[in-house]
Amino acid sequence: MSQRPEFTTLEYRNKVRKLATEICRAGHNSMRKHMHIINAARYLNRYYRIDLFKPYPFQLKWFRSGADYKLRLLSAANQIGKTVCGGAEFSYHATGQYPNWWNGYERDASIMWAFGVSRESTCKVLQKELLGTADYRKKDELGTGTIPREFIDFDSFVADGELAKSFRVWNIQGGYSEVHFYYSTQDEKVLMGQRVGFGWIDEQSEREQEIIAQCTMRTANTGGVIAVTATPEVGVTEFYTQCKEDKTGAAYFQNATWDDAPHFTPEVVASMLARIPYYQRKMRSQGIPILGDGAIYPYSDEQITCAPFDIPDHWLVIAACDFGYSGISDPSVIVFVAYNPETGCRYLFQEWGNVDDRDDYANSHLPDYMARKLIGCVPDDWQENSHKSPNEFEGLGLPSISVMLPPDGDGIQAGTQKTRGELMTGVGAVVCSNTFEIPEDMAPMENNRRSLVGSISILGQWFQDGNLKIFNTCTETLRELRLYQWKRRGIRTIPSDKDNHYLDAMRYGAIRVRDNGVHLYEARKPAGSDIYEITNPYDEDMGAYNL
């Protein structure tokens, strides 16, 4: 084993890069004089690629999930950076060199697994991502991947031709991480007897469930994490369903699409879709399996979305909630829906989920906080929990908007003697007197006024007729809509009880806004105002005639 080296610091590396840039800008004479500095910067850029990684928002969200979940699945579209994402996290754990912005899972040096589908894909994808080359024998390229060259113990490699079967990585916290490359066609016996701290599985395979089971057993006593990054080409596997429909909070599921990757411009998307077979387009562009029991809302984004616009003051608006019980695997959400009284068209124009505030306020999923978010009233313990000033608390902008609660809004909130509706009303939110029900005129033959399938049918017809639109800025609602599917339960087909938090709130708001909404100009009033007072100048003038 090699002697442990002295590692460069990020501050030093960035200083060299900055100095090299200034030298190049100074002209040829300066470059010739200081070529050693330019060469040093080139070396750092080549062998310290991880410094240059700037994560997209969906990648930051994925990293964050590692702090809460031991089993995670990123079901992603092609070419958006899912493997880069997996390789970056692997490098951080292997070296112990976490960036300042990191808020995910952390651990000390350990045994680490990187799993590919085949030997060939393991070399060409995982090995190339981590070490920088698909062929271990090209020694000069080792260290051009996400694991920096100075952290690699070159005397530790065990190789088989082009495949690096295992090697060691120095950990900045002390000791070393032991990295092993495996692929799904290998005998399970090669996995036995190891205590693993982190396992990365890239892409689906026919033996996916067996591999996950092995990884689960090997991480059981280490507090380790299993991360799976895949485009679901095999379809709706048992593992995909396990993560997507998990209700225990033990597994994490995240979907990422071309819309989540800024390098996919509209021109690139149009070109790519034109060359992809129609039946594969959702899988390739949205990370949604081809197989399944069918989409509940089978409409393209072009059919159901629109660009944001200013809602007119006389339109009716409503806020609709869906309560989560942990705020992690089942978030609390609020959506705003507007109603055009002239056309009957409805627009979902704003969304909020407690995940947006969870890092600042752990109880952001509770009803009283949701009410404060609606009316813009700072919680009493905001500074204590968030370490931020009251001025940094942001409401949702419509303090006097009417609020429609789901059927469980009448339920008692744990730890209190009050219902969720009473808690929100007590804070000052304008909560509707009754929880969600379908108006009789919208479904005259429906006996169950809270029917899930009945209300889905109403929204589906509105989508089809162009009478319900979602602002394209409401990305979480659209993400859920793309994933929302019918599931077969015995002889019945029912809506999946997963990826439905924003969609449930959308149902409540879209159906009730006509009858329970308030005018936008009333919703803007400060909390506590009498929002039903006559303020329209025409109505005030007509009041003189006692009309």
pLDDT tens for 43-97 read 999 999 999 999 999 999 999 999 999 999 999 999 999 999 999 999 999 999 9
Angle at 451 between CA 448 and CA 452, to 5 degrees: 170
Give yes or no for a contact between 194 and 111, defined as CB atoms under 8 angstroms apart: yes
Structure tokens belonging to residue 306: 């629109």
Cα distance between the two ends of the chain: 93
CA distance 288 to 299: 14
Q: In angstroms, how far is CA 365 from the centroid of its own chain? A: 17
Task: Work out the angle between the directed axes of helices 420-427 and 367-375 (0-180°, nearest 10).
Answer: 30
Average pLDDT, the chain: 90
| DSSP codes of every residue in 302-320 | HHHEE---PPPTTSEEEEE
Express as a percent the part of the chain with pLDDT over 70: 93
Q: Encode 326-377 in three state secondary structure.
A: CCCCCCCEEEEEEECCCCCCEEEEEEEEHHHCCCCCCCCCCHHHHHHHHHCC
Structure tokens belonging to residue 20: 């090299």
Give yes or no for a contact between 449 and 422, defined as CB atoms under 8 angstroms apart: no
SS3 481: helix
- 291-330 pLDDT per residue, tens: 445 678 888 888 899 999 999 999 999 999 999 987 777 8
Task: Work out the angle between the directed axes of helices 82-95 and 57-65 (0-180°, nearest 10).
Answer: 50
Phi first, then psi: give them for residue 415, nearest 5 degrees. Answer: 85, 0
Whether this prediction's pTM lies above 0.85 is answered by no
- Residue 64 is given by DSSP the state H
CA distance 11 to 18: 10
Give yes or no for a contact between 115 and 201, defined as CB atoms under 8 angstroms apart: yes
For residue 419, what pLDDT band results from cuts at 50, 70 and 90? Answer: very high
Residues β-bridged to residue 518: 317
- 268-282 pLDDT per residue, tens: 999 988 887 555 678
- 484-496 pLDDT per residue, tens: 887 766 546 688 8
CA distance 203 to 208: 9
For residue 534, what pLDDT band results from cuts at 50, 70 and 90? Answer: very low
